[in-house]
Amino acid sequence: MTDALSITRDLIRCPSVTPADAGALGVLETLLKEAGFATHRVTFSEAGTADIDNLYARIGTEEPHITFAGHTDVVPPGDEAAWSLGAFSGEVKDGYIYGRGAVDMKGGIACSVAAALDYLRDNGGQPNGSISFLITGDEEDVSVNGTIKLLQWAAERGERFDHCVLGEPSNQEVMGDCIKIGRRGSQSGTLIVEGKQGHVAYPHRAANPVPDISRLVVALSDEPLDHGSAQFQPSNLEFTTVDVGNTATNVIPGLARAKFNIRYNDCHTQESLRALVEERLRVACGNRIRARIDWLPSNSNVFLTKPGPFTDLAVAAIEEITGRKPELSTTGGTSDARFISSYCPVIEFGLVGQTMHQIDERASVADIVTLTKIYRGILDRYFG
């Protein structure tokens, strides 16, 4: 098979910490061009954010059209002196390839490219349909100049996707244990409680917001938002900071703030979720506490790819190679699949994610070989 390990190494050696590309997209573009893909490098911009380079490549003009998606940007390496091997070395030791992005998710991209090139080599250089790649450099940061705009750009060109495989590190413990078929949405906000500043020796002249915000934090946290759904775990609201901005011990503060994040399932939309929390706040405040919520904008909506022929196809390919029947899961945080789901059914399947974002991030060489075989199996079945 085409050497996915070498592609992984070449990608890792590009220090593409968001928003830098550092040559990573060029590595992929060269390989895909040589195989006959039509490639497009597209840069997107938005005020207040860095320009981001993206890559779209397609071979074939007919249906069905399967696209592989991913991101070449990575999180910072942290203390590079703490790495056993260089953070961007791409070196192999004891059966593992080391480097930032090995798991999340340069290894997954390398496997999908290798599988596609092998499929084309064995099938006359053309698929019985179309294969494409949607690769961004803006997933690990604000995600505004990457996949979301690349999809819009492709749609304006008349591109239509039938199915997508996103190579995020979905497996929990071993290859073949998990496919992500959905993700909960994410919504953040700040609870603001108004008081009246004053001297602590004269509390009757002030209104202390600290006890009030404590009561509201408990009130909003204690009652479940729901009890889960057929495919999703229960939604959860978690407070992450409480702050009054007060440096003095003898001053009652005039304002208190508490930041929170909600991970919500398909029992809610963004609008209905906000309405539910606002109503609970109104009840908890009664006629005395003055409080409001400042909601932050969110592009992380809940989505679900319902089990069906496409998930069955992926499960069959995974089971054939690994001997395991993967769980269809919706756990974890957000990913670019939330954007892709508006255009076509999408599943997430990649390497084992145990070391992602850690010092000594590494991927098993054996797992890279296995994942390449699985992607090839998906392509064989898809066009079979």
Binding-site residues for Zn(2+), please? 71, 104, 140, 168, 357
CB-facing half-sphere around the CA of 79: CA atoms within 13 A: 3
Closest CA to 285 of 196, 224, 223, 213: 213
Q: How far apart are CA 167 and CA 160, in angstroms?
A: 20
If residue 140 lies in a helix (H) or strand (E), which one and from where to where? none
Based on the residue annotation, tell me whether 73 is a catalytic residue of this protein. Answer: yes
Q: What does the buried/exposed string (b/e) look like for 308-336 if buried means 16 or more CB atoms within 10 Å of the residue's CB? A: eebbebbbebbeebbeeebbbbbebebbb
Catalytic entry in 10, 29, 53, 73: 73
Please, which residues have CB within 8 angstroms of residue 261's CB and are 6 or more apart in sequence?
Answer: 186, 187, 188, 237, 238, 240
Query: Helix, strand, or coil here: 127?
Result: coil
Q: Known catalytic residue: 266?
A: no
Catalytic annotation, pick one of 29, 53, 118, 139: 139
What is the distance between the alpha carbons of residues 244 and 258, in angstroms, rounded to a whole number? 9
Residues annotated in the binding site, as ranges?
Answer: 71, 104, 140, 168, 357
Q: Tokens in use for 111? A: 């496997």
Pairing status of strand 327-329 against strand 178-180: parallel
Check if the beta carbon of residue 346 is closer than 8 Å to that of residue 305: yes
Alpha carbon distance 219, 258 (integer Å)? 13
Q: Is residue 372 within 8 Å of 323, Cβ to Cβ?
A: no
Query: What are the residue numbers of the active site?
Result: 73, 139
